[in-house]
Structure 1
Amino acid sequence: MKLIPLGLLLLCAVFTFAQSNNAPSTYDTHEIAITGYLQTQYQRAQSAGILSFSGGDFAKNSKDRFMIRRGRLKIDRADKYSSIVFQIDATQNGVQLMDAFIQLHRPTSKALLFTAGLFNRPFGHSIVYSSGYRDFPERARVFQTLMPRERDLGAMLTFRPDGKFHFLTAEVAVINGSGHSARDYDSKKDIVGNLGFKFDSLANKKLHIGFGGSIYQGSVRSDTESYFSSNSSGFVKNTSPDYVDWNAKRNYYGGNLQLQYDNTFGTTLFKAEYIAGTQPGVASSSSITGPVASQSFAAQPATDLYLRPFSGYYLWLTQQIAKSRFTALLAYDSYDPNSDLKETQIGAPGSNTTAGDIKFNTLGYGMACLINSRMKLTVYNEHVVNDPTQLAGYLEDLKDDVFTVRLQYRW
């Protein structure tokens, strides 16, 4: 396990304006509390059977569907020394464990927390920001790819000082790195570090600002004698018996910003986040299709690793309409799984490139209506664009837009 230098930890950050998943419903002493939310939705895709990051891929011959996107049930308890959180997700696909962790703290202060169990990786803004409060239906493609299901198993220290430094949040976590899976396929652990800032009392308390950066240092074990490294023309194969049981670097660096202004027309909220680094993936195949080739894996990859330099970001803008129940939504996100290459190079003979190297941009827009304090209706469309490549099936922009109507109830 590698240690992060202190200087790097001081550059890491995370900030949230609202509910974080890594916390009980309240830190006030209480017996069992039950909270949660249900998201039921209708979706229509531009084509049948598309691969999608808007709630999962569509079935082979289907381009519209009803589904339960999330059905969360959270149980927590807190006393003066500790708290415990247990959360499940129940959908048409079954029941899955989402969170299960214990937090310890001093009886007189919650400034220092120790968390152990299954929890959200403390990276950036959108990963720890609850889906029950997020204005947009899904997280950006880049975060769904790098950190699917957001959670991992491990231990974390959180520092939120009282007094004049109350604007600061610092977190360091040691995790398996295999994600939501209970099985860690190597003996090394990954480290996530965060340091964030929040200021709420600007411009007569109308302006709220948060910003920070994040760092992830980890690795993925190689199970073969070869791996592929990227350059400006494609991938080069590297072969040696020493590459069996070798650990390829999995390093991310990110920054985030949140601005909220409470104006006479209604609340304006802007959020942005950028992430870049190196991601070990694999090649596309009959069993690992398209963008999933650059995804993080919960199990040991059985084929050669592909090391890709990546970058991605999102821009989210929401505007309350005349202080009414309606909020306009506008988003743009981009994920380039291989920033060494142009799309026209992908699929070229001898380049060893696959669909896992294709860049996707998504423009999202819609409207949300807060029906009452518990119920929200969201109507949202995603226009997904990829540039043409030389790969069969990706010679032009895919017809993979998705329209969503979602009803959410939170209790």
Structure 2
Amino acid sequence: MLSAPTAQAQVTTTSAQDSVIAQPKAPEAAPKAHWYDKISLRGYVQIRYNRLLETNPQLKTEYDKSVGDKGGFLIRRARMVFSGNVHERVYIYIQPDFASTPSGSSAIHFVQLRDAYFDLSLDKQKEFRLRVGQSKVPYGFENMQSSQNRLTLDRNDALNSALPNERDLGVMFYWAPDHIRKRFSELANGRMKGSGDYGVFGLGIYNGQTANRQEANNNQHIVARLAYPFAFKNGQIVEPGIQAYTGLYTVTSDQLSSSAIKGGDFRDERVAASLVVYPQPFGFQAEYNVGRGPEFDPATKTIQTKSLTGGYAQAMYAFSIGDHNFIPFLKAQFYEGGKKAETDARYNKVYETEIGLEWQPLANFELATQYTISDRTTKDARALNNRQHGRFLRLQAQFNF
């Protein structure tokens, strides 16, 4: 009788042990995701030499300080992009440049902010967006196109004179259907040299004094753009566009060559048309703008509001040999008018032809060669009629990461 309870206890104990062994373990909780885990890092570096086969060392350009006399090797851009969706409706983008040259400085390779903005999606499909901060202004396809993607080493004078550095501080509204946003992304990320996703329709308000400069008047600029990438059955994509902006630009005292020249507020407005045929394999790109803005007048030695006009056309052809990608190109441009951000809102007249080849043997390396034939005339209070023409061969090595 004493052994029965003992045996029963043993059985009970054994059953309990079996039960514990058979019971599955609770799954471990997934680590909590932090916003900074969603940030990606990428960038590129461009190193140039511009003085091969040079015929006139006095020929210079504001777009590249290493062109002409005393020019040498130059790190033209060294950029890193921090970006990511920190929320299902919030996307951030921050881009510093580690090789900037501040206006009026003889030193090079300063760190300067290029972009710092966030996109706030107004709907779940992210078709309607607000972009707040310093970003590219939607005026001109080549202005919006990243320098990492652009074929020619510099942007055209005609449309870039509207937006030196292509950026300003403000608020932009963009709209595009979801499938068109995907198309814009594919065009920018592939080998078709897209401009990025600036919507089918864009409308914005911004300071108007160009990037990294304080507002100088009580009048903001307004910009609007309409563009659509049509896809045809043969695979070709054609993107026509139209854009315009208006506002007041203030020529500030630091832009003047002497106290005898007066600055002030000037009407600044333009309208432009764009046409892009993406290279598959033949490509074509053209833009033209007209408008008015501040311009130095050599006859009166004053800055006045004057008309301006100019544009460019570019042809290209993409092909591959093995793993090597090639795009030869030909570009011709013309511009006549003032450049509001230059000294005394300098008058410019530009005729330029560029013939080049981009070679990409690796995804992380590109080499561009470009032969430039240029005829440039500038007029400001220091040089009332400075005309320089010449030819030179340019080389650029680009590293992508």
Q: TM-score range by the shorter chain?
A: 0.7 to 0.9
> Which structure 2 residue ranges, 5 or more long, are not aligned?
1-35, 100-107, 184-198, 254-261, 339-343
Match of 1:204 in 2: 234
Matches of 1:90 and 1:304, distance apart in 2: 36
TM-aligned CA distance change 1:67 to 1:369, over 3 Å? same
Q: Is 1:186 equivalent to 2:217 in the alignment?
A: yes
TM-aligned CA distance change 1:126 to 1:165, over 3 Å? closer
Match of 2:372 in 1: 382
TM-aligned CA distance change 1:37 to 1:55, over 3 Å? same
Q: Is 1:337 equivalent to 2:332 in the alignment?
A: no
Match of 1:40 in 2: 47
Q: Is 1:169 equivalent to 2:200 in the alignment?
A: yes
Task: Give me the CA root mean square deviation.
Answer: 3.3
Matches of 2:397 and 2:240, distance apart in 1: 31
Which of 46, 60, 63 is 1:51 aligned to?
60
Which is further off, 320-329 or 373-382?
320-329
Which of 187, 192, 215 is 2:244 aligned to?
215
State the one-letter code of the partner of 2:278.
Answer: Q
TM-aligned CA distance change 1:155 to 1:49, over 3 Å? same
After superposition, residues 48-127 of structure 1 pair within 5 angstroms as 48-56=57-65, 58=67, 61-62=69-70, 64-78=71-85, 79-91=87-99, 92-106=108-122, 108-127=124-143
Contact 2:50–2:67 at 8 Å: present in 1 too? Answer: no
Which of 289, 292, 295 is 1:278 aligned to?
292
Matches of 2:123 and 2:250, distance apart in 1: 41
Matches of 1:54 and 1:223, distance apart in 2: 21
SS in structure 2 at match of 1:142: helix
SS in structure 2 at match of 1:359: strand
Q: Percent identity?
A: 20
The one-character-per-residue Cα deviations of 1:307-361 (angstroms, maximum 9, x if unpaired) are 12011101111112466522211100110117xxxxxxxxxxxxxxx99444211
Task: Name which one, 1 or 2, has greater alpha-carbon Rg.
Answer: 2
Matches of 1:117 and 1:177, distance apart in 2: 13
Tell me the CA shift for residue 223 of structure 1. Answer: 8.3
Compute the TM-score of the two structures, normalised by the length of structure 1. Answer: 0.71
TM-aligned CA distance change 1:163 to 1:40, over 3 Å? closer
SS in structure 2 at match of 1:127: helix
After superposition, residues 122-137 of structure 1 pair within 5 angstroms as 122-137=138-153
Tell me the CA shift for residue 58 of structure 1. Answer: 4.6
Contact 2:159–2:288 at 8 Å: present in 1 too? Answer: no
Match of 2:165 in 1: 149
Q: Is 1:258 equivalent to 2:269 in the alignment?
A: no
TM-aligned CA distance change 1:304 to 1:368, over 3 Å? same
Match of 2:396 in 1: 406
Contact 1:52–1:400 at 8 Å: present in 2 too? Answer: no
Contact 1:40–1:408 at 8 Å: present in 2 too? Answer: yes
Matches of 2:251 and 2:63, distance apart in 1: 31
State the one-letter code of the partner of 2:150.
Answer: R
Match of 2:38 in 1: 31
> Which structure 1 residue ranges, 5 or more long, are not aligned?
1-28, 225-242, 286-302, 339-353
Which is further off, 393-402 or 109-118?
393-402
Contact 2:50–2:66 at 8 Å: present in 1 too? Answer: no
Contact 2:279–2:318 at 8 Å: present in 1 too? Answer: no
TM-aligned CA distance change 1:57 to 1:393, over 3 Å? farther
Matches of 1:80 and 1:281, distance apart in 2: 46
Matches of 1:249 and 1:313, distance apart in 2: 21
The one-character-per-residue Cα deviations of 1:237-287 (angstroms, maximum 9, x if unpaired) are xxxxxx997x4321100000011353xxxx1110000011001133579xx
SS in structure 2 at match of 1:401: strand
Contact 1:53–1:144 at 8 Å: present in 2 too? Answer: no
TM-aligned CA distance change 1:116 to 1:405, over 3 Å? same
Tell me the CA shift for residue 371 of structure 1. Answer: 1.5
TM-aligned CA distance change 1:404 to 1:97, over 3 Å? same
Compute the TM-score of the two structures, normalised by the length of structure 2. Answer: 0.72
The one-character-per-residue Cα deviations of 1:162-204 (angstroms, maximum 9, x if unpaired) are 369998710011000001134101011000101111112x142
Matches of 1:131 and 1:65, distance apart in 2: 21
Match of 1:158 in 2: 174
Tell me the CA shift for residue 386 of structure 1. Answer: 4.6
How many equivalent residue pairs? Answer: 323
Tell me the CA shift for residue 160 of structure 1. Answer: 0.7
After superposition, residues 15-30 of structure 1 pair within 5 angstroms as none
Tell me the CA shift for residue 84 of structure 1. Answer: 0.9
SS in structure 2 at match of 1:110: coil
